[in-house]
Amino acid sequence: MERGGVPVRLESQGSKVVFGKSLSSDNEKRLRAFFDSAFEVLSKRREVVFDFSSCRSMETAPTAMVYNVSRRLENIGVDVEWRNLPEEGRALLASFERQTAVPKRISRAWSVRGIVEDIGESGRTALEVAKGLWKFSGRTTLATLSALLRPATVRWKMVRFYMEQGGVGAVPIIAVLCWLLGTVLGYMIGYQLKSFAAEAFMPDLISYAMVWEISPLIAAVLVAGRSGSAFAAEIGTMKVRQEVDALEVMGINVFGFLVTPKMLALMCVMPFLTLLADMAGLLGGLLIGGWYLDMPASIFIRRVNFVLLPIDFWWGMLKSIVYAVIIANVGCYMGMKVRGGAMEVGRATTSAVVTGIFMVILADALIAIAFMHVRPPLTI
């Protein structure tokens, strides 16, 4: 039966929907009106056939509408069969199914073999990521050195933009968090030292802990969470929209064009963020020293000046540059790996944060060992 000129009709007592010669956007409103009126009839059938034997062309929007109707029918227990689809219709249907597919969790019985296989698979994936990241970092380093030899080729406006995004935007959270860590750490150290009248050494321990490790590491972790994820999402979206491919077709070096400004921006702001974190942590310790230990601020500052050397601050600022290189490379690499749709962009963002933080902590452990052989002995 034909309803108002719509190129679709019901047959076989409402169990078959026959489509006309074309599913075009011109008929979209009439097609929607047809399914609104016929849905109640279709929902009462156990099986419904969508027959496209007369259809010669199918556009995306009306085909998506038909697909949504079929999903609604399937959700209430009606079996829907698509018959005689033209080639473009089969391609559209396959695309819709890929976009709406929910990954199935593979359940299997626990076994020693399965655990060993999972460990091996995780190790193989980690090695592939490490290998790819090593190659990516090499190409990025070459592009950055080439750009620095020719400063006119660097997109300095984008460098300033990423400095503001990754540096200025991170100032409040880094300052507040490191100040809170300084207060908590000062309270815990003071509580322990007070029990045997050694609270005078609280500024020493706070200074070493914050300046050597906690402040640079916290600043790097927060920047990895903010900027690393942003870099991965930005480049991942460009990969999905084939913008990176377009840059390569135009002969543009994507490493110098996309990665170098981000890395240079983080290399410029990370030392200052680390210094800010050092000052905020020491201020937190100063607050606790005066409030909990009744320690005058002059004594706290005198002890900090006595135990800390200029190399302590410079070393933290220098290793923050290493953290900046790691964060920028990991974030951009994960974005470049994106293949597929929006779901892959989310996975790349998560991987950028997790891998970036892991690499930063690994680098921090190696740098800490080297620092012990470089710094003069501790003074008490």
Question: Which of 80, 100, 120 delimits the end of a domain?
Answer: 100
- 166 part of a folded domain: yes
Q: What angle, 0 to 180 degrees and rounded to 10, lies between the N-to-C axes of helices 310-336 and 260-291? A: 140
Structural contact between residues 54 and 20, judged by C-beta atoms closer than 8 angstroms: yes
Please give the backbone phi and psi of residue 23, each rounded to the nearest 5 degrees, phi first: -105, 95
SS3 call for 23: strand
Amino acid residing at 351: S
Q: What angle, 0 to 180 degrees and rounded to 10, lies between the N-to-C axes of helices 156-166 and 260-291? A: 30
In order along its 380 residues, the chain shows pLDDT tens digits of: 444 444 667 666 667 888 877 777 777 788 888 888 888 888 888 888 888 888 888 888 888 888 888 888 888 888 888 888 888 888 888 887 777 665 555 555 577 887 888 888 888 888 888 888 899 888 888 988 888 888 888 888 999 999 998 888 899 999 999 999 999 998 998 888 888 888 888 888 899 899 989 999 999 999 999 999 999 999 988 888 888 888 888 888 888 888 999 999 999 999 999 999 999 999 999 998 888 888 898 999 999 998 888 888 999 999 999 999 999 999 999 988 888 777 788 888 998 999 999 999 999 999 988 888 887 776 55
Same domain, 223 and 299: yes
Same domain, 218 and 354: yes
Alpha helices in 150-253 (DSSP H): 156-166, 171-194, 202-208, 215-223, 229-240, 243-249
Same domain, 209 and 330: yes
CA torsion sign for 38, 39, 44, 49 is positive
- 109 part of a folded domain: no
Same domain, 279 and 370: yes
CA dist 297 and 290 (Å) reads 7
- 65 part of a folded domain: yes
Same domain, 73 and 144: no
Number of domains present in the structure of the chain: 2
CA dist 331 and 121 (Å) reads 23
Same domain, 37 and 96: yes
Question: Which of 62, 83, 100 delimits the end of a domain?
Answer: 100
Of 171, 168, 230, 215, the C-alpha closest to 315 is: 215
* Domain span including residue 290: 130-374
- 258 part of a folded domain: yes
Question: Which of 78, 100, 122 delimits the end of a domain?
Answer: 100
Same domain, 54 and 197: no
- 176 part of a folded domain: yes
CA dist 223 and 315 (Å) reads 19
Same domain, 309 and 205: yes
